[in-house]
């Protein structure tokens, strides 16, 4: 699914980002404060930019981990890392645009530069930012990756989608660490299980969160699992996103007995390589305290 937004400074979003940073909700992700103007103004990131073309790419799996006692992995990480695949898709799209419109200058972004991807996707009509701070589309839910193509070609922008969260607060009530603000639409990233299991680089997880991880060893899908809009999610057709290796059927003991050699073999092309064996071992230890 593709949407288009006009390339202009995100004034309202910039103010909200600054407030979020001032609250310290980025935790140890200090890089979130870097390159602020590039993050909120695409014409600084890509001089001459006129359009932001946003891509939403489905990753909802056809099957999920069946052993609920085994440590759980977020659905986006079931298969191979998505960055290279989506970058290839964007380059193909850019080639197609050049074929139709002639010389066009642009850059592809897949979580690889200071780009506010959810804000751009919202402006491009790919959904609204829900109370869980994820982008939600009324026909497909929220299980999709986002990527951007910023170009110097002026295209007709799409209309934004209105907010459909209404009075629902399922995501707020379900979050075991209280990461989502009581009124929604604001996430304390330093409390999010995805942050704790992936981004936090400490040797041990903070003790207050022991017993609150809901068996998640990498990432977390709780606020998506309870979202009513995800009843419309349909399985993807991307072979790279299907589980590889044997880990998908492991039980709890097999996870706990995993050696570094087995980890490297099972998760060679997986997003789980990001925290590495030491990080996953740390998370496993926290689940068993």
Q: Are residues 113 and 187 in the same domain?
A: no
Q: Are residues 131 and 31 in the same domain?
A: yes
**Does any domain span residue 199?**
yes
pLDDT above 70 coverage of the chain, percent: 100
Q: How confident is the model at residue 245 (pLDDT cuts 50, 70, 90)?
A: confident
Q: Are residues 125 and 229 in the same domain?
A: no
| pLDDT tens track for 197-231 | 999 999 999 999 988 999 999 999 999 999 999 99
| pLDDT tens track for 156-200 | 999 999 999 999 999 999 999 999 999 999 999 999 999 999 999
Q: Are residues 10 and 105 in the same domain?
A: yes
**Does any domain span residue 158?**
no
Per-residue confidence (pLDDT) for residue 42, from 0 to 100 = 96
Per-residue confidence (pLDDT) for residue 210, from 0 to 100 = 87
Tell me which residues are annotated as active site: 111
Mean pLDDT of 265-271: 95
Q: Are residues 133 and 7 in the same domain?
A: yes
User: 239 lies in which domain range?
Assistant: 170-287
**Does any domain span residue 160?**
no
Per-residue confidence (pLDDT) for residue 136, from 0 to 100 = 98
Distance CA(160)–CA(135), nearest Å, equals: 12
**Does any domain span residue 67?**
no
Q: Are residues 29 and 122 in the same domain?
A: yes
Q: Tell me how far CA of residue 116 lies from CA of 3, 91, 226, in angstroms.
A: 15, 20, 25
Q: Are residues 147 and 176 in the same domain?
A: no
| pLDDT tens track for 80-123 | 999 999 999 999 999 999 999 999 999 999 987 889 999 999 99
Q: Are residues 225 and 253 in the same domain?
A: yes
Q: Tell me how far CA of residue 39 lies from CA of 115, 254, 279, in angstroms.
A: 5, 42, 29
Per-residue confidence (pLDDT) for residue 22, from 0 to 100 = 97
**Does any domain span residue 165?**
no
- Bridge partners (DSSP) of residue 4 are 53
Per-residue confidence (pLDDT) for residue 76, from 0 to 100 = 98
Per-residue confidence (pLDDT) for residue 200, from 0 to 100 = 96
Mean pLDDT, the chain, whole residue set: 96
**Does any domain span residue 76?**
no
Global model pTM greater than 0.85: yes
Report how many domains make up the chain. 2
DSSP assignment of 108-141:
EESSSSS--HHHHHHHTTS-EE-TTSSEEBTTTB
Q: Are residues 140 and 248 in the same domain?
A: no
């Amino acid at each position: 699914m593709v949407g288009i937004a006009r390339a202009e400074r995100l004034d309202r979003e910039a103010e909200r980002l600054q407030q979020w940073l001032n609250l310290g909700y980025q935790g140890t992700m200090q890089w979130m404060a870097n390159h602020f103007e590039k993050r909120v103004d695409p014409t600084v990131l890509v001089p001459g930019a006129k359009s932001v073309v946003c891509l939403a790419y489905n990753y909802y799996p056809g099957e999920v981990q069946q052993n609920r006692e085994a440590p759980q992995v977020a659905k986006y990480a079931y298969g191979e890392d998505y960055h290279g695949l989506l970058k290839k898709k964007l380059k193909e799209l850019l080639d197609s645009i050049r074929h139709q419109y002639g010389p066009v200058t642009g850059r592809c972004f897949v979580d690889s530069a200071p780009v506010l991807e959810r804000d751009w996707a919202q402006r491009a009509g790919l959904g609204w930012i829900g109370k869980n701070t994820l982008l939600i589309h009324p026909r497909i839910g929220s299980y999709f990756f986002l990527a951007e193509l910023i170009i110097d070609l002026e295209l007709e922008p799409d209309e934004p989608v209105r907010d459909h969260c209404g009075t629902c607060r399922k995501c707020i009530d379900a979050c075991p660490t209280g990461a989502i603000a009581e009124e929604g639409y604001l996430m304390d990233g330093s409390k999010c299980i995805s942050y704790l299991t992936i981004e936090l680089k400490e040797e041990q997880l903070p003790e207050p969160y022991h017993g609150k991880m809901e068996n998640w060893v990498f990432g977390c899908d709780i606020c998506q699992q309870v979202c009513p809009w995800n009843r419309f999610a349909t399985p993807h057709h991307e072979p790279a996103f299907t589980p590889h290796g044997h880990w998908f059927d492991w039980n709890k003991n097999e996870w706990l007995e995993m050696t570094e050699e087995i980890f490297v073999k099972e998760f060679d092309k997986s997003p789980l390589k990001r925290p590495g064996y030491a990080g996953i071992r740390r998370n496993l230890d926290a689940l068993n305290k």
